[in-house]
Amino acid sequence: MCLIVIAWRAHPEIPSLVAANRDEFHGRPTAAAHWWTDRSDILAGRDLVAGGTWIGITRSGRFAAVTNYRDPAQARPDAPSRGSLVRSFLESGATLAEGLANLRKVGADYNGFNMLLSDGERLGVYESVRGEGRELGPGVFGLSNHLLDTPWPKVTTAKSRLHEALREGADRQSVLALLRDETPAPDEELPRTGVKLATERLLSSAFIRSADYGTRSSTLISIDRSRQVCFDEWSWDGAGAEVGRVNWRFELQSAQTRT
């Protein structure tokens, strides 16, 4: 994931709403979001190279999503896949506090990352460059390839548009539209993360259109106050055209009634 905005306990009818773009090389084998055959309580896409995922939810409402922290100078080619962190939390029965504690233990083994995670009742964030995590209160939060709520243009704009969408009822198309925004940031507002200026420009929009590397999928996950979950995922090719769509609907189960 390279852009996640989440409204947590910020709307009376929709306690949780997540909108996220996954940016990745188009040639990396990927499975669209599905109920996993080896863990039937997990709904997520799957990285077919390393076996993990970038965003997912369970039947009980456990949620996790990860973004890379952009710092080319610190990248280690032999580090394990960060998608395994999402998978591990989804597979676990850990509370938020336990999940954050585990990330403090293992986070240094991975290249830089940020992870949003929820045990279904509480939401938290872990930022590996700080080696720390914390619980988040109600609000709208944005995460790209830096720390939570770093005011990169695409994060600021996406949060603003999510606030607006919530005021208007948070219909699916208005939330998808903020993920499909291809407006680049002005050069004077670009972050400086150690990549070339042309690359900073390319990566500055919410939706990245490029033949080799770009936005592979967009995901919307909402949970309403009656515990109904809507999980929508769109897949995109290098030209930005839709090449797949999945829509899942289910009701959250308690730990006692899960199968």
Q: What is the pLDDT along the chain (259 residues), one digit of tens a residue?
A: 799 999 999 999 999 999 999 999 999 999 999 999 999 999 999 999 999 999 999 999 999 999 999 999 999 999 999 999 999 999 999 999 999 999 999 999 999 999 999 999 999 999 999 999 999 999 999 999 999 999 999 999 999 999 999 999 888 999 999 999 999 999 999 999 999 999 999 999 999 999 999 999 999 999 999 999 999 999 999 999 999 999 999 999 975 544 3
d(CA 23, CA 44): 16
**CB 14 within 8 Å of CB 170:** yes
Please state, in angstroms and as integers, the Cα–Cα distance from residue 41 to each residue in 34, 38, 140, 151, 217, following that order.
10, 9, 27, 35, 22
**CB 217 within 8 Å of CB 21:** yes
Please state, in angstroms and as integers, the Cα–Cα distance from residue 186 to each residue in 108, 148, 154, 171, 210, following that order.
34, 21, 11, 29, 19
Residues in the chain: 259
Least Cα distance to 84 among 108, 110, 105, 61 occurs for 110
Beta partners for residue 228, in sequence order: 251
Least Cα distance to 223 among 89, 35, 59, 100 occurs for 59
Residues 6+ apart with CB under 8 A from 112: 68, 69, 70, 71, 74, 128, 129
- Predicted TM-score (pTM) of this structure: 0.95
Distance of CA 17 to the CA centre of its chain: 11
**CB 76 within 8 Å of CB 43:** no
Joined tokens for residue 144: 């790209």
